[in-house]
Amino acid sequence: MSFHAVVPYGTPEHHRSQRAVLDEGTPFAYTPENRAKLEEICRRYPPEQRRSAVLAALYLVQEQQGYITAGAARHVAEVIGLTAAEVDDVVSYYVMFFRQPTGKYVLQVCRTLSCALNGAERVVDAIQDTLGIKVGETDPSGMFTLLEFECLGACDRAPVVMVNNEHWHERQTPETVTQLIDGLRAKGLAALTGCHLKVEK
């Protein structure tokens, strides 16, 4: 006697993964400079633990081509000794890795409790109104992508907007985030001031 339901394979009730697959993209290989950077990072680990450099390897892919493709995942797997499925698992788990092309500036708004209670939804609305896009989209100019983020760890300075996985802007309001976008349009990253991470560096 079994306590497990019998579900024939291939029926609608049978579990199927809902995870989106990576775009195939164009053939990928690290530039000589990025390959050298990766090898330098891999030397920090024992040779049999080279796979531990997977996050750094993926950051280098993203730096080189903007997002992670299936071809890039296979290349990373080959270079550091993982399977493509293992690399894909990492890409799908961490939100800082982009699975599709993004704009030049990726605006990620923290949506967890402190930020939500302090107006993150109004900040998202202001960005959507300013850029004419919804969360997950890139504006027609290709300059901005809007995403939501699960916890940036700055609850005392909520709500937080992160630009390009690096520059934090805290205590944002609809007015200040609109100024942030205007500044990025006019001066690029040089417009970013008062970033928490920059202050601590």
Tens digit of each residue's pLDDT (9 = 90 or more) over 150-179: 898 889 999 999 999 888 999 999 999 999
Using CB atoms within 10 Å of the CB of residue 96, give its burial: 0 to 12 exposed, 13 to 18 middle, 19+ buried.
middle
The mean pLDDT of 123-146, rounded to a whole number, is 96
Residue 198 has pLDDT above 60, yes or no: no
What pLDDT shows up at residue 5? 62
- Would the pTM count as exceeding 0.85? no
What pLDDT shows up at residue 38? 97
Q: Which helix (H) or strand (E) covers residue 144, if one does?
A: strand 144-149
Using CB atoms within 10 Å of the CB of residue 161, give its burial: 0 to 12 exposed, 13 to 18 middle, 19+ buried.
buried
Angle, helices 54-65/84-93, rounded to nearest 10 degrees: 80
In which band, very low, low, confident or very high, does the pLDDT at 141 lie, cut at 50, 70 and 90?
Answer: very high
